[in-house]
Chains A and B, each alone.
Chain A
Amino acid sequence: MSLTARVEKLRQQSLEAVETLSSERAELLTEFYSQEIGLVSTPVHRAMAFRYLLEHKSICIHEGELIVGEKGPAQKNAPTFPELCCHSLEDLDVLNHREKTSFKVSPETRERYKKTIIPFWKGKSMRELIFNEMTEEWKAAYQAGVFTEFMEQRAPGHTVLDDKIYNKGMLEFQAEIDDRIARMDYLNDSLAYEKQEELRAMHIAASAIIGYARRHAERALELAAEELDERRRSELLEIAEVCQHVPAQAPRNLWEALQSYWFIHLGVTIELNTWDAFSPGRLDQHLFPFYQQGINVGELNRESAEELLQCFWIKFNNQPAPPKVGVTAEESGTYTDFAQINLGGVRPDGTDGVNEVTYLLLDVIEEMRLLQPSTSIQVSKKNPDRFIKRATKIIRTGFGQPSVFNADLIGQELIRMGKTILDARGGGSSGCVEVGAFGKENYNLTGYFNLPKVLEITLHDGIDPRTGQQIGLATGDPRGFQSMEEVFDAFEKQVNYFVDIKVRGNNVIERLYARYLPCPFLSILIDDCISKGKDYHDGGARYNTTYIQGVGLGTMTDALTSLRHHIFEQKTLPMGRFIEILEADFAGQEQLRQKILNRTPKYGNDDDLADDVMQCVFEIYYHAVDGRKNTKGGEYHINLLPTTVHVYFGSVTGATPDGRKAWTPLSEGVSPVQGADHKGPTAVLRSVAKMDHVRTGGTLLNQKFTPQVLENDEGLDKLVQLIRTFFRLDGHHIQFNVVDAVTLRLAQQHPEQYRSLIVRVAGYSDYFCDLSKTLQDEIIARTEHEAF
């Protein structure tokens, strides 16, 4: 189906809207907190602030829209969260002027920040509180780039909804809340009052969202009264009816289901600046009953359902990720907020989860071709090949979506982490690749952990050679190490030491959020916050997981393999000399560097000489993190994913023993070092599968192809089988980069970074870098021809 004129126009508006930093929320919040309220418990105070925001923020119903509501006062107007981190004037200028992913800051906004917002919030934000509470060791490690901290400018998130809002309205949640308060045991429960206050806050937040929806209903009626076009007038009246009904009550049809979700999405992301926005999760399963019922009663057909979904899609694309502050404002390079929609997988009863709406949503993804929302397919062995093949046709078009997950493995991962089988089946992936039990879990990514940096510190006896500061343990002069075991031992001690520092910091930060920034609205939506009478930030969720994401596994593996091979086995050179060469960034040692790059076992080639080192690194990191207790009654687990931090981590890490030059990017996810794999995609998958993915909460693997590899049915079938086989080997996730001509030109200029790039040549595929310049040019020309 081609886009309707309405959708075409809304989509175009969304694409053309300029990302703008809006001070509306910051101003309203400043107004609210300037009022004298007297003694009020923190959760209730937060709920009142939430209500104030929703009572006063602008209401948007754009021309032609069917699904309504914006986070800011217009499309792509991003609100700010001064209670978390307040933008400085310099931040605003950086955001306004930087070349890529900028946010327009009007002179008026800047003025308001200068006059009211900055002076009011100075010394009051969570970010300042966090940095004040961190130890010197924490700050030293943070500044050295050993780890990052997620909570310093965004609130705990990665949260995904289950099906509850499709079965219940806010009024029913309020009845549950009232019932819980009525049953409170004030005689025996010493926390009864705290619970009562949290529940009262939830009640206020529920009323606030109902009020916000009804403001849209009123606006729709006003617009309808002025509307001359008959058709649009009846649509506006219908919008008014929908907004009057949801989310106060359970949705009665597809339109109401989508609008209800959207109000809730806005509520969560206006209440706090949650990481990775908020996600609807298993949308195909949630919407299927509404779709089926609409078709049955003749209220819907496939086309009208598709149009509603397309309108819904545009709403996600209208919300850029919140503008960052400080160094992150300079470095952050994406507008995407990682809200993820999951398709396929299994149903809670374990049967095939693919349905008609799955295919409908795949059509929508392909037709809309928008940056947001992110989409993924959850592939179970129970799903038909047709489903995967349909998705590969979208992957082939080269915009990186949908990504592909192993639903059966995710189930095992969740069960290993203590979920019931039903909750595990209702879960999936969100953000990048992280897993959780949707609607029942608070699972937080708390920061990336730079494994190669820790090796660098290990090789300098606890000193960061970049600054000369002693920031790690003194684990001994590596020149004295007699065996690889001693290297591993010292490295393991350093990893444990830095993880201790990180966990100590996390455990303080978790309490700061629980105490100062409860989120009563989000707490309504996540089981079992209501029945426990506890906030989402305070252990209210049924499951509470804290993740720390390891970065640079490929670099780490090749670096240690190189040490073992060249220092202890081949005895190419002594340790002391090697360290000097690394400190000099291989200056004058290009021959040695080439020998290391080309004559040393490398991860990603199904070579056990490297892959067993990968397993050792995995075990060290796993044991350093997994199973530690967090402050919410849950545990720590690991992820292996980088988003884009492997570039930053690389920029603070000197030359590594795998031949990597100083300050260049680390490997990403669980992928091999860029260009180190040269035995084809199946060898990469076999290497990667030697890791025990089931003991993680998510790993990320990238593979690159050119469009020609996938141009006909045969190519797509092969891709489907490649995915199936990787998942038989218990891989967690794979995403396919179908590269464009720009990438191919970069590969021509920097072949060393693109050695594993495979292109379809004629009747066969080959490594791009192995082709003659002429042929490369020819393929680039072809690619351009095929690109959109």
Chain B
Amino acid sequence: MVGRSLSTEQLMAEIERDRLFYDQSGGGVTFTGGEPMFQIEFLEETLLSCKNQGFHTVVDTSGYVSWEGFESILPFVDLFLYDLKLMSESKHKHYTSIPNQMILNNLQRLSRAQSHIIVRIPLIPGINDDENIELSAAFLAGLPYLDEVELMPYHEIGLGKYQALGMKYKLESTQPSTRKQVEEVEEILTRYHLPVKKRFSGRTE
């Protein structure tokens, strides 16, 4: 459908083209997906090349992979973007069809290993914006090390894609969160002394 197969060498050549822009801005390469860690060997090889070439690296992950995977790439990753969806095991299973124990364990181990982590909580009205927020906040507050927590409010951008693919969109009646709702959740997280990235700050009206 979309995408193409590339070797590490080919991918590195693409990355290399933008080096000057990374040098200037302090930017780098972000591996995202899908789940980039599902291609762990390719990821490890490419991350290693990136580090050898002096690029800043970020891995965006759901955390639902074995710890061995994390261990193998840990030395070559400058920052993890780590999804935290739901604290309740049963709800997690209900909405994502997988359990969350491994995800939570990996996050704890990653934190103990003093990796740089930004935890990202997708905020979906009616699904995880209830007591889950307090539970998540408590869990995160218990981590030894964390760079930042960021909320990712629900939006309807995927709708068109689902329609194009003839797939059923299951959240048709869900409305995106309002700015006020997002700020209330940020407020709860702040009470737990978490380093919250404020969604609307720095925006000049």
Contacts and interface: CB of A to CB of B under 8 A. Distances in A.
A772 interface: yes
A718 B25 contact: yes
A728 to B, nearest CB: 6
A606 B17 contact: yes
A773 B157 CA distance: 11
B18 interface: yes
B202 A761 contact: no
Given A712-B202, A778-B156, A772 B164 contact: yes
B160 A725 contact: no
Given A682-B21, A763-B152, A772 B202 contact: no
B5 interface: no
Interface in A754-768: 761-763
Contacts of A718: 25
A393 B21 contact: no
Interface string A715-726: 001100110110
B18 A682 contact: yes
Contacts of A763: 152
Contact of A771 (B160, B202, B204): B160
A191 interface: no
Given A686-B17, A772-B164, A773-B160, A762 B155 contact: yes
Contacts of A761: 157
Contact of B24 (A393, A725, A762, A775): A725
A717 B27 CA distance: 12
A775 B157 contact: yes
Contact of B159 (A711, A712, A772): A772
User: Sorted from nearest, which 10 A-B pairs have the closest CB atoms?
Assistant: A772-B160, A721-B25, A713-B202, A725-B24, A712-B203, A712-B202, A725-B21, A721-B24, A762-B155, A724-B24
Contacts of B157: 761-762, 775
Given A682-B18, A722-B21, A774 B159 contact: yes
B167 interface: no
Nearest to B203: A712
B167 to A, nearest CB: 13
Interface string B188-200: 0000000000000
Nearest to B163: A772
A712 B160 CA distance: 27
A729 interface: yes
B83 to A, nearest CB: 13
A90 interface: no
Interface string B1-37: 0000000000000000110110111110000000000
26 contacts: A682-B17, A682-B18, A683-B17, A711-B203, A711-B204, A712-B202, A712-B203, A713-B203, A714-B202, A718-B25, A721-B21, A721-B24, A724-B24, A725-B21, A728-B20, A729-B20, A762-B155, A763-B152, A771-B160, A772-B163, A772-B164, A773-B160, A774-B160, A775-B157, A775-B160, A778-B156
Interface string B145-160: 0000000100111011
B161 interface: yes
Contacts of B23: 725
Contacts of A393: 204
Most buried by A among B17, B21, B26: B21
A711 B25 CA distance: 18
Interface string A686-719: 1000000000000000000000000111100110
Contacts of B18: 682
A683 B18 CA distance: 8
A728 B24 CA distance: 9
B161 A772 contact: yes
Nearest to B23: A725
Interface in B113-134: none
Contacts of A724: 24
What DSSP secondary structure best describes chain A's contact surface?
helix
Contact of A725 (B20, B155, B161): B20
A448 to B, nearest CB: 32
Contacts of A683: 17
Interface string B22-65: 01111100000000000000000000000000000000000000
A91 to B, nearest CB: 47
A774 B156 CA distance: 9
A506 B202 CA distance: 54
A721 B28 CA distance: 13
A682 B23 CA distance: 13
A728 B159 CA distance: 41
A717 B26 CA distance: 11
Interface in B77-130: none
A714 B21 CA distance: 15
Interface in A48-88: none
Contacts of A773: 160
Contacts of B202: 712-714
A686 B18 CA distance: 9
B76 to A, nearest CB: 24
A419 B6 CA distance: 50
Interface string A577-612: 000000000000000000000000000001000000
A778 B159 CA distance: 12
A713 B25 CA distance: 14
Most buried by A among B23, B160, B161, B203: B160
Contacts of B21: 682, 721-722, 725
B191 to A, nearest CB: 24
Nearest to A771: B160
Contacts of B163: 772
B58 to A, nearest CB: 14
A713 B21 CA distance: 18
A763 B152 CA distance: 8
Nearest to A683: B17
A773 to B, nearest CB: 7
A20 B159 CA distance: 52
A762 B177 CA distance: 13
A97 B157 CA distance: 47
Given A714-B202, A771-B160, 12 more contacts: A682-B17, A712-B204, A721-B24, A721-B26, A721-B27, A724-B24, A725-B23, A728-B24, A729-B20, A762-B155, A775-B157, A775-B159
A55 B204 CA distance: 51
Contacts of B152: 763
Contacts of A682: 17-18, 21
A682 B157 CA distance: 25
A677 to B, nearest CB: 14
B82 to A, nearest CB: 15
Contacts of B155: 762
Nearest to A727: B24
Contacts of B204: 393, 711-712
Contacts of A714: 202
Nearest to B120: A763
Contacts of A686: 17
Interface in B159-197: 159-161, 163-164
A712 B23 CA distance: 22
Contacts of B26: 721
